[in-house]
Amino acid sequence: MPSRDLKRRFQDKTARIGVIGLGYVGLPLIEAFNDQGFDTLGCDIDAAKVKGLNAGRSPIKTVDHGRVRRMVKTGRFRATDDFAELETADAILICVPTPLTRHREPDMTYVVETGKTVAKHLRKGQLVVLESTTYPGTTVEELKPVLEASGLKSGRDFFLAYSPEREDPGNPRFNTRVIPKVVGGDGAEARELALALYGQVVAGVVPVSSTQTAEAVKLTENIFRAVNIALVNELKVIFTRMGIDIWEVIEAAKSKPFGYMPFYPGPGLGGHCIPIDPFYLTWKAREFGVATRFIELAGEVNQAMPEYVVAVLADALSRRFKKGLNGARVLLLGMAYKKNVDDIRESPALRLMELMRDHGAVVDFHDPYIPAIPATREHPRLAGIRGVKWRPEAFKRYDAVLICTDHDAVDYAAAVRGARLVIDTRNATRGVKSGRDKIVPA
């Protein structure tokens, strides 16, 4: 049987693994397979990225150049923009973006177009796995028909599975190899093959009954986080009005050894998953006539946080300096969506900058990992704006410094010393002793 031979090659690591999309998910996945001795092929439409990888240069901070050079040196990794080479792969893992449209509905363009490309080069005996976060039903309702347009049939000629990515960029404790993989297949054979494949490179595999269940697992994980972040964001607004420090509350609450898990407030949600995934389920639930009121309310709370932060800034400027946002000079510290990464996707800093500029403020930014704002679909007006150098002694020329991302590489004590006013959305200044009268939490 074709599946038996394929399973054997996964188990003895003679199979070739192709990964489509060499970003924050695909590249660490390639590294995990490469480290276990598999021959790996990385496919990406970005020719410059492909060229850089083959020269040992990483396109992302979370996988450094040294690690890419080591993979290239083994001879078991090569990047390409020629997708015809996928014919040589035994497993094809799809790690492409799944964004939202302007109407906050799922945009399956990348998945469908990638599926069409794979279909052109699909051969009998291959395993195809979708890893992109999406709504329940995508693998069999969207990807499967595109692949079967090749004339090959899932479960007979090739095998199809879904295994959601669980990357946490910038978190040194959890890399691809130590995070268990949830696996669902389009049929039992596909699931067993995917389990055999991932079982060679990750700490554990978690089989579920279907691709739809596996897709629902990923949404559940991120919706859980989105809802709890919304709760703590709302508590922040309430407790701040009462004169209570939300950060002190959380620190004390998490001393309880059961029944509580700490989540932390911020200026809004960022990253590719948490701001997007709830809307995927909300959209799909409409097909079944179900309202997702709780999830949508959480989304409204989180989406409103940038406006709340700007309101706090405006009030602080008025109270301290008797001036409004119009004409104020503001330095935004941190553009990345989370600390210690160079990822700007869905970052609340983008919305904060636009809001402040719309109110007439003159806004600069500094981020040690982001020299300039790249082009984004939602914020085209900000594309190309370059960050300013780290010069705390020059911070007094700004009316306020607004901390949006709490990178470890930033000296917040120096920022407070140099600034006239600091709006801290991340509790980044908690260890700063001098100049606390300048700090306003938001």
The two tokens of residue 84 are 């015809």
List residues bridging with 93 in a β-sheet. 19, 129
Query: How confident is the model over 357-361, as a mean pLDDT?
Result: 98
Average pLDDT, the chain: 95
Residues of the chain with CATH 3.40.50.720: 2-209, 304-441
Residue 2 has pLDDT above 70, yes or no: no
The residues near 440 (Cβ < 8 Å, ≥ 6 apart) are 312, 316, 421, 422, 423, 424
**pLDDT for 254-306, tens place per residue?**
999 999 999 999 999 988 778 888 889 999 999 999 999 999 999 999 999 99
Helices (H), 122-258: 138, 144-148, 188-198, 211-242, 246-253
Q: Are 128 and 94 in contact (CB under 8 A)?
A: yes
Number of neighbours of residue 77 by Cβ within 10 angstroms: 23
Q: Are 326 and 361 in contact (CB under 8 A)?
A: yes
> Rounded to the nearest 5°, which phi and psi values hold at 49?
-65, -45
- Residue with the larger pLDDT of the pair 136 and 273: 136
**pLDDT for 8-21, tens place per residue?**
999 999 999 999 99
> If you classify domain 2-209 with CATH, what class do you get?
alpha beta
Measure the CA–CA gap between 310 and 351, rounded to whole angstroms.
Answer: 10
> If you classify domain 304-441 with CATH, what class do you get?
alpha beta
> What is the fold of 219-301?
N-(1-d-carboxylethyl)-l-norvaline Dehydrogenase; domain 2 (1.10.1040)
The two tokens of residue 185 are 């297949």
Element containing residue 423 per DSSP (H, E): strand 422-424
What amino acid occupies position 426? Answer: R
Distance of CA 405 to the CA centre of its chain: 15
**pLDDT for 333-354, tens place per residue?**
999 999 999 999 999 999 999 9
Strand, helix or coil at 156?
coil
Query: How confident is the model over 410-427, as a mean pLDDT?
Result: 97
Strand, helix or coil at 412?
helix
Maximum distance among all Cα pairs of the chain, rounded to whole angstroms: 78
The two tokens of residue 89 are 């792969």
What amino acid occupies position 167? Answer: E
Q: Is 273 a catalytic residue?
A: yes
pLDDT value at residue 90: 98
pLDDT interval class at 177 (50, 70, 90):
confident
**pLDDT for 94-106, tens place per residue?**
999 998 887 788 9
Among 43, 95, 273, 404, the active-site one is: 273
Measure the CA–CA gap between 312 and 402, rounded to whole angstroms.
Answer: 11
The residues near 173 (Cβ < 8 Å, ≥ 6 apart) are none
Q: Are 418 and 396 in contact (CB under 8 A)?
A: yes
